Amino acid sequence: MATWNATNLDNRQLPNSKITIFTAANPTIIRHWHVHNTSGSTTETVIGYFKRATSRVIARVVLAPNEAADLIDESLPVIVLEAGDLIEAQTTNATTVDSDLGGAVFS
């Protein structure tokens, strides 16, 4: 019997150019996406994208030094991915923004 399995989908520092941080192999629900600017002196702009056929901006946040934010959280509607859909991200400067993406995968 197929079930939904909660999991950490991706955890990394974001680069300063758009990359794929998650590719859905099965139907997937994105429940949270937390980002944290680890720089003590630099403001960072973080942009999150959803891509099925075309990349679409789903979240944009400007983080002050040492500030954190949720691009997606449980108070917002979840994002449902089909197999092959992508989550992409980028930030202003490489190696200063930590990203944690979590959800549930149907398997």
Specify the pLDDT at position 36.
Answer: 98
CB of 93 within 8 A of CB of 87?
no
pTM, whole model, 2 decimals? 0.93
Q: How many C-alpha atoms does 37 have within 13 Å on its Cβ side?
A: 23
Q: Which CATH superfamily is domain 4-106 in?
A: Nucleoplasmin core domain (2.60.120.340)
Mean pLDDT of the chain: 94
Q: Using only the alpha carbons of the chain, give its radius of gyration.
A: 14
Per-residue pLDDT tens for 62-97?
Answer: 999 999 999 988 777 789 999 999 999 999 999 899
Tell me how far the alpha carbon of residue 99 is from its chain's centroid.
Answer: 7
User: Side by side, which strands form the sheet with 19-23?
Assistant: 19-23, 86-91, 44-51, 55-63
Q: Is the dihedral of CA 23, 103, 95, 54 positive or negative?
A: positive
